[in-house]
Amino acid sequence: MNETQRAKIVLKILNKTYPTTPIPLKHRNIFTLLVSVLLSAQCTDVNVNNATKNIYPKYNKPEHFVKLGRKKIEKLIRSIGIFRIKAKSVYNLSKTLVEKYNGKVPRTFEELEELPGVGHKTASVVMSQGFGYPAFPIDTHIHRLAQRWGLTNGKNVVQTEEDLKRLFPKKYWNKLHLQIIYYGREYCKARECYGISCKICTSCYPKRKRPIKTKKA
């Protein structure tokens, strides 16, 4: 079985398992989506949602966070990992949006990636989930799963993104990114499946008997 055949199996199982894909990070607008994605680094979506449910009803514009200042932002997100670094990014990001973009989130990869604290993955999430632009955000979990499923030899997330974009039609990218995340959390967990027990792993590699080691991103 080659990678193209495996990609078809993956797509079929994911479409059947997750016909709908709600965005896991709760947000009120594209700006709060951007902030939530920033906050989710090295942190679960559940933790981010728990923290922001008390923030976004009151503070949901760049102007609000500029007015709050860094120290107050720190207090608001204290329950989230590396909160001081993230508070600095949220403050500087908000300041840049107010000063350079009139408080609006820019709609291009180039402009997004120039914002404080925003890398390619964060920009990809905002472009796909916020603006509906075809993108394939790759985090360490998707990187791991793509290796397990034989869709990439996964030296890094850049290569994994290129391989997945090559294997799957563009019209599926946005939904597929979320489907893979959901599937990984529920069925192909890092310390439970090991590449030998979930439906996708057993369908793509029916003869695999030993746990597969994945290369870190």
- Catalytically annotated residues: 121, 139
Contact by Cβ (8 Å): 140, 157? yes
Give the list of residues 6+ apart from residue 40 with CB closer than 8 angstroms, or none.
25, 48
| Three-state secondary structure call for residue 142 | helix
CB burial of residue 191 (10 Å; 0-12, 13-18, 19+): exposed
With H, G, I as helix, E, B as strand and everything else as coil, classify residue 23: coil
Token pair, residue 81, equals 């990992």
Residues contacting residue 167 through CB under 8 Å, at least 6 positions apart: 3, 4, 7, 151
Separation between Cα atoms, residue 57 and residue 52, nearest integer Å: 9
How many CA atoms within 13 Å lie on the side-chain side of 29? 11
Alpha carbon of 134 to those of 1, 109, 137, 192, 198: distances in Å?
28, 11, 10, 31, 28
